[in-house]
Amino acid sequence: MNAFPTTVSATAAPANKIEVRNPATQETIGTIPNLAAEEIVAAVARARKAQAAWAAATVRERARIFQRFSELLCDQKNEVASVISREAGKPETEALSTEILVVLDTLKYLKDYVPQFLRPEAVPHSNPAMKLKSGTLLREPYGVIGVISPWNYPFSLPSVQTLSALATGNAVVLKPSEFTPFSSLELQRLLRQAGLDPDLLQVITGDGAAGAALLSAEIDKVVFTGSVATGKRVAQAAAARLLPVVLELGGKDPMIVLEDADIDVASSAAVWGAFMNAGQTCLSVERCYVHESIYEKFLSACVAKTGKLRIGNGAEKNTDTGPMIHERQLRIVQSHVDDAIRRGARLLAGGKPLAELGPNFFAPTILADMDHTMTIMREETFGPVLPVRSFTTEDQAVQLANDSEYGLAASVFTNNRKRGEALARRIHAGTVMVNDVIACFGISEAPHGGVKASGIGRTHGRFGLEEMVWPKYVDSDRMPQMKKLWWYGYGPAFGDQMKGFVELLFAKNLINRIQGGIKSTKSYLRRKLL
């Protein structure tokens, strides 16, 4: 199988090692093994062997390990946040709020909800012929879940997916990005310290070839988060062996600001939503549509607030926005900005790298007077850019918001909640927030995922748990000594009886139903059954 390359390769040490660098300082954090395919196959085999006992464990036994993990993570939050900041570049404050806090809340949700989620569920039978049966729905773990995780949220993304899989009785083999592997290794360390069998979570490190090897190994489902292009290759490889997939493939999320919105609130949301994590968030505000009556005031407020942002190393306490992950991603952002300016966009802030801070820093950028011929309004930028244009009517705003191949999330700002919710129903996205942005990812009960090119399936919440299990229906007949009326022993009389039975159940008027009931009566008294 061909390798699935990530955006760029991390700096290579020896052939079987990968050097990991801090994107803010360029210092080497450490090296990780670039595992060979046979090592990954062996990891999957170990996980499968351990999974049987884990699936047989009670929900309470699993919960005890999760509780201990939660306590350890809470106690060591600063140390884990420091690891996240060093390898991803983001401020430690963001590591706490958008990563560690999300994971701790997920643990609480799993503790509260998983017991009832996994409880056998009675299935009612409305068909009179089936009233002597008892139906039960069970949720069975797949076995071994493969998780391929990106670099932008290196702790919360793999943790939420891994914990959901483990809570439902699966084992996990996790392949983190080679740019940010140490956050996943922290997850593994803390879970093992909490008492998890080491073989139940295997973190495999390496480049794109490691992800390809994981897909080739005997996993039972794959959860992938990354680009559309790579996601399509993952889906093609999985389809060859009918491997179930969950794909979260990013977005081009629109933000609509209606004329009655609070400009101060909406502009703060836009600035944070576009520049948080240096814009490297699938839920970032990547398109902003503002009613023409408040357009210039909104832009002025955004420019003023952007000018107050402190750009720097995420390890420094006052930093608001850190570096991008690597230079290639920065060049993509620069090309999108340059294309927009050539096509007539107004540059109001930023627009260039901050080379004096390091090779991966790009100034938070605001562009105005956008149109959909510009690359930045159609392709995922994944950088600190806020592109803004005006609209005149709600219908136009909805049309612009839906004019994208992506459909992950969106937001609407208005002082009229009912109006915002009505507009939300018209937007094609997996999540629409009214008067907030991005925070939906931190709501453990809410499903996360999109439509169109934004992916397949869901993570988080009940729908995320459903992705980790397969439904088994168990049907038990209450009359084991009774032959069933639809068994063999056919003939003309039985055919007439079945016609009557259909009429009894589904005929349009009452007289036909009564007549059908009379014709079908003898079917219950049949004696010539094989």
Residue 105: half-sphere exposure toward Cβ, Cα within 13 Å = 18
Distance CA 47, CA 265 (A): 48
| Amino acid of residue 396 | Q
- Among residues 316, 275, 363, 308, the alpha carbon closest in space to that of 24 is found at 316
Residue with tokens 């879970």: 191
DSSP 8-state symbol, 353: B
| Amino acid of residue 426 | R
Beta-bridge mates of residue 134: 476
Diameter over CA atoms, the chain: 92
CA distances to 3, 63, 112, 198, 426 from 60, in Å: 40, 5, 11, 19, 42
Helix 181-193 and helix 156-167, axial crossing angle in degrees, nearest 10: 40
Is 94 in the active site? Answer: no
CA distances to 175, 190, 293, 317 from 49, in Å: 19, 21, 64, 45
Q: Looking at 248, 379, 394, 503, which residue is catalytic? A: 248
Q: Looking at 282, 288, 302, 440, which residue is catalytic? A: 282
What are the backbone angles phi and psi of residue 362, rounded to the nearest 5°? -130, 135
Contact 381, 333 (CB under 8 A): yes
**Other beta carbons less than 10 A from residue 405's beta carbon:** 13
Is 39 in the active site? Answer: no
- Which residues form the catalytic set? 248, 282
